[in-house]
Every structure is written in structure tokens, then in C-alpha cells.
Structure 1
Amino acid sequence: MIGTADIREWRDCDVMDPRGHKIGVFEAVYVDTATDEPAMVTVQVGLPSRRRLVFVPLDGAVVGPGYVKVVHDKALVKKGPAIGTDDVLPAEDEEAVFTHFGLAYRPGTAGERQLARR
């Protein structure tokens, strides 16, 4: 498991798909609020004038010198829910991120968010 402190060191590094294709640049880590373990990262993609942040799960991710390799294909990641580079993920859009990757969405018992940016 990749620890929160460890993954923060990879900010501004390349995020790669399983075939070694660059998806974009690592921007931030989101932890699962139930476990406080890293669950997803945001990746900056797009042209300089049209950048956005897409989400990608960290399950199965591998870190190397200057990169984080995730298990999801570049095309799948880039088609997923996105936010602006200065935006935060609205609570009502959180479930769509999980659904896009075929993951179970488990908010807290009182409806708390499952993801928190660290």
C-alpha cells in the first residue's frame, strides 16, 4: 500500500497507464475518509489553455523514479469525471467518479463523503 506521505512526494510527476503511456501530471492525492489511506489522485490533463483534473484510483499503483503507474488505461481515465484546475469535487459528483471505474461507492453512515483531498 502506498502511504499518504509517500504519494505526496510524487506531486508534479508523470502518471502513466499500464502500457507506459503518459496520462498527465500528478496533482493531488485523495484519501478514503473511512481509512485515511490514499484512494485516488487527480491528474492534470489537457492543453495549456484548457487544463482540467481527472481522477484515477490508486489500487494497484506502482511508483518509480519520477512516475506513478496506475492500472487504468489512459483513454478510460481521460473520459472520466473532471474538475477545473482550481475546483474541488462537489459531493454530489463523487459517486460518478467511483461508478466510472466500476468501484463501489460507500459514503459514511450519515452521508459523509468518501474522499477527502490531502
Structure 2
Amino acid sequence: MNTYLDFVALHTRDLDAARSYFTGVLGFAVAQDRPDAVVFTTEGGAAFAVRRPLPGVDTAQPFGVGVSIWLGVPDASAYHGQLTAVGASIVQPLQDGPFGRMFAVATPDGHVLTFHQH
């Protein structure tokens, strides 16, 4: 059986703050705004969201550990400049990587998102 990536959701302790960060700082557009999750518009591939933790998830444990998330952007240098100007937490500087120009940011919940030029 072949599988494909369909949906990625990052857990957050504060959905309102996560919505503000992803829209106001990272510039994501909201596709759906629900009481338990915010789904963002994507150009293709998997859907992407932030959501309140599922029942049974231990919220005392740190979020954002053990996962690498890479998101494609048309111009990594321009997006890096845009995020730097609004104070995003850049945790890996703009550089050439295995998939072209790339950099990484940390979200308020500790998730590291790598943006690479595609």
C-alpha cells in the first residue's frame, strides 16, 4: 500500500497566540478557523494547521521536539528578510542547504520550521 502525507498539525498550548504568530509574523493565510484548530492555506501537498492538543496528550511535556518540518517558499532570501524585519526567532541563519537556500525559525511553542527555496 502506498501512503501520502495528507495533514500536519502542530500542537499549541495557546491557540490564539499561535494563530497570531502564524498569520502576523509568518504571513500564513487562514483557510479554516475552528474552536480547536486553525488550518492554513497551502499551495499544494499536505494541509497544515495548529491545534489544541488532542485529549490525552500530556501538555506538561515540551512541544516541538523530535520533528523536522520543511516548508517551501519561492524566494528564501526575501522571506528571511521579511521575517527578520518583524522579529521572528531565526534559529538557523540563511544558508545553502541540501535543497537550496534555507533558514529556520522557532515558534513560541518551540517547533522549528525550516523554510527552503523551491
Q: Give the TM-score normalised by the residue count of structure 2.
A: 0.29
Say which structure is richer in strand. Answer: 2
**Who wins on radius of gyration, i.e. which is larger?**
2
